[in-house]
Amino acid sequence: MASKGSHRVKTSIATVSISGTLDEKLEAIAAAGYDGIELFEQDFIAFDGSPSDFRRRVQDHGLEISMFQPLRDFEGLPEPLRAKAFDRAEHKFDLMQALGTDLMGICSSVHPAALGGIDRAAADFHELGERAAARGLRVGYEALSWGRYVNDHRDAWEIVRRADHECIGLILDSFHTLSRKIDPNTIRSIPGDKICYVQLADAPAFDMDVLYWSRHFRNMPGEGDLACTDFMRAVMATGYDGPISLEIFNDQFRGGCTGQVALDGYRSIIATMDDVRQAEPTIQVDLPPIPPRVKAAGVAYIEFATQDEEAREMEGLLGTLGFEKAGTHASKAATLWQQGEVRIILNEETTGHAGTAFEKCGTTICDIGFAVADAKAAMERVIALGSKPFDSEKGPGSADIPAVLGPTNSVLHFIDDSAGLARIWEKEFGVKTAAKGAGITHIDHHNQTVSHDNMLSWVLFYTSTFDMVKSPMIDVFDPDGLVRSQVVESPGGGLKVTLNGADSNRTLAGRFLSRSFGASVQHLALATDDIFTTAEALIKRGFEPLPMPENYYDDLSARFDFPTGLVKRMQERGILYDRDMDGAFFQLYSRTFARGMFFEIVQRDPRYAGFGAANAPFRIAAQKRAQIAKG
C-alpha cells in the first residue's frame, strides 16, 4: 500500500488501553487491523513466560512491538542516582533485544531529586544515545504535561536537538500538547526525521488536574474535545512517517469490551488520518481512497423483531398511532407499516437475525435502515474505518441493501435512491402509496440507550461514518439515578439521534438496557405538523397518552407565557412543552411497552434545537408511575 515518497500510516495501540488477558488483547488488536502494540512494562511483567515467548506471542498475531516504555525519571539526576539510571537503562536494553523491539520511550522526569537544565538533560540523552547505538536501539523522549522541568514538547525538542544523536528522537503525544493548550502548529518547525513516535489521545473538555485527567479520562480521537486532527496535521506536515499509536488511559475502557474498544481505536486513527488528508490535501497520507463522510437524510425504516401475541400487540399499538399495514413480504413473515415517510417493519421470522433478537429479549428493534445519499459509498467508508459487513442474511427481503455490523453487534443498513433500492418497498412488500394516517410525517429522532462505555463507541461511529456533529454531554435525572445524554445530528437535522448512557439498573434507561439488543433503540420520536390534531386522531384510535401530573402544567404556566387556553389543551391531551430562545417544542408520549420502549410524538418549530431535555425527569417519573399502576 505504501507508495514511494508518501507517508505510510502504521497503526499501533498501547496494551494498557484495553482490558483482558494478554492473549485477549493481542487477538482484539490484530482483529481490529493494527500493525503493532505499544508495550507497557506492566503487561510484560504480568506475563508468565520469557521475553522470547512474549515476542513469539506478539508475532503469532501478526503484530510487532512498536515501542516499549519501561523507564521513568531518567534525565537530570545527580550522582549516584545518575549512574543507577544508566544501569537501569542498560538492563531494559537487554530486555528490549530479547523482546525484539528497538524503540524505548522515556517521559520527562518527575523525580524529586532531578535537576533542571536543558543542557544537562541533553548530555544525559547523548550518552544514552551512544549506549543505544552500540546495540542498534533507539530512544524517544516525551514531555509529560506534568513533568517537573519539561512539560512542553518544545522543550523536549530542544533537549533532543542538543543531544544531537542519531539514536535519540522526540515522542509527541497529542494529550500533553493539547491539554496544556500549546499550539500544535509549533510542531511544524520540528524536522520529521527527528520525531520517532507519535501518540494520539483525545479527552473530554474537563477543567481538572492534568495528571488525573490524563490517567482516567483519555479517549479515542473524535470521542473527546481536543483538536486531534490539527495536531496530526502539524505532525504529518513535518514529513513524519512512523507509527501512530493510541495511548489511552480510561477507566471505562479498562473495564469495557476488549474487541469493541480496539475497533473504536482503529476507526478513530483511520478517520483522523482521513480528516488530515481532507483538511490539508498537500499532505500525503498513505491510505487507500476513502469516500467522505456520508450525507444522512434520516431513518428510512426501523425493523422490530417480534412474534406471536407480542406481534399482535405491536400491530395494535401501531394502529393506535395511525399506522396502516402497507404490505406483506413476498417470502418472509414480515409486514410493513407505514405513515407519511415512516416505515416500520414487523419481522416475525423465528430464525436468522430477527429470530435471535426476539429470543434474546422479546420484542425489540433489531435493525435500523439509514437513508443516505449514496449507500455504496457509505458501505465503503464504514468498511475502511474497520466495520465488518453484515451479509449472513438479507435486509428486509432484499439482497441489495448494504448492511454493516455496527457497535454493540447492531445491524445497520444503508439505503439510497439508486435504481436498485428506491423501489424496494414496492418490490418486496408490494407497497405503492403511503397512508396519511393521523398526520405523522417522518421520524424526528431515535433514541438509543447504551452503557456508558458504549456511548463513546456510538458517538464515534456516528460522527466518523456520517456527516454529523455531537452536542455536549448533559445529565438527565431519573428518580433512581443519573443518565448521561448526548445528541448526534446531521447538518440541517435530517438524522438526529439522542444517545443515553446508563449504568444503574434502577433507572428507566438502565432497566431497559439490561434487556435490550443491538443498537438498543429505546424510543422513536415521530414528527407531526400539528400535535393537537394528531393527538385527537390517536386518542380516537385508542391511543393512551402518558398521563402527566397537574403540577407539571402549573409549573409550565409559571415558566412560560401562553395564550389563553393553551395549557388546558395540552393538559387534556398529556402534551408536554419546551422552548428555547428561537422556537417551541411539543411532545406527547406513549406508555412504555415491550420492556421499556416507547413512542414520542413531537411538533418541532424548525428553529428549536433541543429534544425537550427539561421534561425528561417528569416524563421518566410519569412512565415509572404508569408501569407501577399497570403492575
Residues forming contacts to Mg ion in the complex (CB under 5 A) are 173, 199, 247, 525, 600
Among 473, 206, 429, which Cα is nearest to 329's?
429
* Shortest separation between residue 626's beta carbon and Mg ion, angstroms: 17
Amino acid at 282: T
Residue number, 55 or 593, with CB nearest to Mg ion: 593
Q: How many CB atoms lie within 10 A of CB 561?
A: 6
| Beta carbons of 42 and 16 less than 8 angstroms apart | yes
Q: Which is nearer to Mg ion, 145 or 320 (CB)?
A: 145
- HSE, CB side, 13 Å, CA atoms: give it for residue 622: 21
- Nearest approach, Cβ of residue 1 and Mg ion (Å): 27
Task: Name the nearest CA neighbour of 219 among 174, 181, 186, 177.
Answer: 174
Spatial neighbors of 105 by CB under 8 A, at least 6 apart, are 38, 67, 68, 69, 139, 140, 142, 171, 197
Three cell numbers, residue 533: 390534531
Cβ distance to Mg ion smaller for residue 201 or 262: 201
CB nearer to Mg ion: pick between 496 and 511: 496
CB of 49 to Mg ion, least distance (A): 27
CB of 470 to Mg ion, least distance (A): 16
Determine the length of the chain. Answer: 631
Cβ distance to Mg ion smaller for residue 241 or 600: 600
- Distance from C-alpha of 39 to C-alpha of 14, rounded to nearest angstrom: 6
Cβ closer to Mg ion: 291 or 617? 617
Least distance CB 498 / Mg ion (angstroms): 6
Written as nine digits, the cell of 32 is 481490529
Q: How far apart are CA 197 and CA 19, in angstroms?
A: 23
Minimum distance, C-beta of residue 212 to Mg ion, in the bound complex (Å): 16
CB 440 within 8 A of CB 340: yes
Q: Residue 148: CB partners within 8 Å, gap ≥ 6?
A: 108, 109, 110, 111, 112, 114, 116
Q: Which residues are 492's β-sheet partners?
A: none
Closest approach, Cβ 241 to Mg ion, in A, equals: 19
Dist CA 228 CA 225 (whole Å):
8
Stated as kind and residue range, the H or E segment containing 110 is none
Q: How far is CA 173 from the centre of its chain?
A: 21
Contacts of 475 by beta carbon, 8 Å cutoff, 6+ apart: 482, 483, 484, 485
- Residue with smaller CB distance to Mg ion, 219 or 335: 219
Closer residue to Mg ion in complex, CB, 173/453: 173
CB of 432 to Mg ion, least distance (A): 31
| Per-residue CA distances from 425 to 188, 324, 326, 335, 338 (Å) | 54, 14, 9, 11, 11
Least distance in angstroms from the C-beta of 376 to Mg ion: 31
Residue number, 478 or 600, with CB nearest to Mg ion: 600
- For 15, counting Cβ atoms within 10 Å of its Cβ (0-12 exposed, 13-18 middle, 19+ buried), the class is buried
Supply the minimum distance, in Å, between the C-beta of residue 525 and Mg ion. 5
Residue type, 89: A
Look up residue 185 and give its DSSP letter: G
Q: Which is nearer to Mg ion, 352 or 610 (CB)?
A: 610
Looking at the Cβ atoms of 124 and 173, the one nearer to Mg ion is: 173
Burial zone of 581 (CB within 10 Å; 0-12 exposed, 13-18 middle, 19+ buried):
exposed
In sequence order, what are the residues at sequence separation of 6 or more whose Cβ sits closer than 8 angstroms to the Cβ of residue 606? 493, 583
Q: Which residue carries 496494551 as its cell?
A: 15
Question: Which residue's Cβ lies closest to Mg ion?
Answer: 173
Which C-beta is closer to Mg ion: that of 404 or that of 495?
495
Alpha carbon distance 130, 133 (integer Å) = 5
Cβ proximity to Mg ion, 67 vs 273, nearer residue: 67
Under 8 Å between Cβ of 23 and 60: no
Contact 40, 16 (CB under 8 A): yes
Least distance from Mg ion to the Cβ atom of residue 69, Å:
8
Q: Which is nearer to Mg ion, 247 or 428 (CB)?
A: 247
CB of 186 to Mg ion, least distance (A): 17
Helix axes 375-384, 452-465, angle to 10 degrees: 130
**Angle CA 270–271–275, to nearest 5:** 115
Closest separation in Å from C-beta 467 to Mg ion: 22
Burial of 419 (0-12, 13-18, 19+ CB in 10 A): exposed
- CA Rg, the chain, in Å? 28
Name which of 201 and 377 has its Cβ closer to Mg ion: 201
Would you state the cell numbers that stand for residue 298, as one nine-digit string?
A: 434520516
- Minimum distance of Mg ion from residue 104's CB (angstroms): 13
